Every structure is written in C-alpha cells, then in structure tokens.
Amino acid sequence: MTHYSVLAVTPTNEDWIPGYIAPVNALIAKHGGEYLARTVSHERLEGQGEDAALRIIIAWPSAEAAKAFVGDPDYAPYFKSRTEGSESHHFLIEGKDDLA
C-alpha cells in the first residue's frame, strides 16, 4: 500500500543543502520513492503553531520502502547533515481512509 512521507523542514544552517539534494534524490528513487511536492510555497489554512520553511511530500510504494530509505547506510551522512542543520519533522502516513 502507498505510504507518504510528509516533512516540515526549517533550515538553521543552509551549508548542508547543496550537497544533499542530488544524492538524496538518487537514494529516494533507489527505494521507489517519488517527490510529489518540495516547496516553500505553502500556507496554513487552519490551526496555530510555528510554520516550517519547506514542506516535502514523498510517495512510497510501501512503509518498508520508506523505512529502508531512512535506514540506508548511504543516507546516514545526509540524514545527519539535515537534522543537524535544520528543525525537521518527518511523518510516515499510510495511504488509506480509516473513516470510510
């Protein structure tokens, strides 16, 4: 079943970004992921709280594929640079409707 990574990322240091994008794009594709959105163009329509600078949505063929990406040893240095250089929140959401 399709799963979605939904991330909110606010860089605290932008030095990591140029070296992150191309290799992580390849790693996401390696695990069957596809970016649906990677944008600074977003607005809050409801609720309160601090807004993230960047919103990212990635579609995965399964939860296992998403977790394999996150756990890939080749991703580890990029994960470290992103989490040390930003305030990041990553949610994995199952693509189903539990209320239907």
The pLDDT of residue 64 is 98
Q: What percent of the chain has pLDDT over 90?
A: 97
Burial of 57 (0-12, 13-18, 19+ CB in 10 A): middle
Grouping H, G, I as helix, E, B as strand and the rest as coil, residue 8 is strand
Q: What average pLDDT does this structure show over 29-44?
A: 97
DSSP characters over 27-61: HHHHTT-EEEEEES-----S--SPPPSEEEEEEES
Beta bridge partners of residue 5, listed in sequence order? 58, 92
Whether 49 shows a pLDDT value over 90: the answer reads no
Nearest Cα neighbor of 58 from 79, 39, 35, 42 is 35
Measured CA to CA, the distance from residue 87 to residue 9 in angstroms comes to: 6
Instruction: Quickly state the pLDDT bin for 42 (edges 50, 70, 90).
Output: very high
Instruction: Report the chain's mean pLDDT, rounded to a whole number.
Output: 97
- The torsion angles phi and psi of 91, rounded to 5 degrees, stand at -115, 140
Whether 50 shows a pLDDT value over 90: the answer reads no
